[in-house]
Amino acid sequence: MMDKVDRILIDEQKLMNRIEELGKQITEDYQGKELVIISILKGAVIFASDLVKAIKLPLVMDFMAVSSYGSSTKSSGVVRILKDLDEEIEGRDVLIVEDIVDTGLTLNYLVENLLSRKPASLKICCCLDKPSRRLVPVKVDYIGFSIPDEFVIGYGLDYAEKYRNLPFIGVLSKDVYKK
């Protein structure tokens, strides 16, 4: 797999250090509250798993699966909910945990959908943010790292369902997808 990685953008130790910082900040911000963490499948599950260990509060985890990429390297803009929540979120404090915010189209759709369910609060935490690619404004409350416009893999992020298990964030070699 390493032969498909152009370079390591964020190594495992840097990821873990930043996640600890995010966990502390979220713990402070939600002190005295019970949080509903919504991890967006499949990409955010590894990040969410590490993040919840760093949050020192009572919390509930739930999952949604949405798709706008398919096997492409670019968002199609068409969002499909593949798996909806099991938990009711009305009147509850909700934190969406996402792997990467790119165009903002998927997250914007998701936020509108979840706000219609009347949570007490709704915030967003992402591992990676690509602000240069934003097509719609999305307020991300907690950002692990802002990154340049490159196709990244690892730590939950995939290309055609592969490379999620890399313990770092790497840039995918262009020869993999430029055929």
Query: Three-state SS across 33-97?
Result: CCEEEEEEECCCHHHHHHHHHHCCCCEEEEEEEEECCCCCCCCCCCCEEEECCCCCCCCCEEEEE
Q: What is the CB neighbour count within 10 angstroms for residue 174? A: 12
Active site residue 102: yes
Check residue 174 and give its pLDDT. Answer: 87
Query: Is residue 137 predicted with pLDDT exceeding 70?
Result: yes
Which residues on neighbouring strands pair with residue 124, listed in sequence order?
A: 96
pLDDT tops 80 at residue 175: yes
Look up residue 85 and give its two tokens.
């929540």
What is the domain extent for residue 37? 2-177
- Count of structural domains within the chain: 1
Would you place residue 2 in the very low, low, confident or very high pLDDT band (cuts 50, 70, 90)?
confident
Distances (CA, A) of 118 to 19, 20, 65: 28, 30, 20
Q: How confident is the model at residue 121 (pLDDT cuts 50, 70, 90)?
A: very high
pLDDT in tens, 57-116: 999 999 999 877 555 555 556 788 999 999 999 999 999 999 999 989 889 999 999 999
Average pLDDT, the chain: 92
Degrees to nearest 5, angle at CA 40 with 132 and 152: 40
CATH number of the domain within which 69 lies? 3.40.50.2020
50, 93, 99, 102: the active-site residue: 102
Band the pLDDT of 53: cuts 50, 70, 90. very high
Tell whether the model's pLDDT for residue 145 goes beyond 80. yes
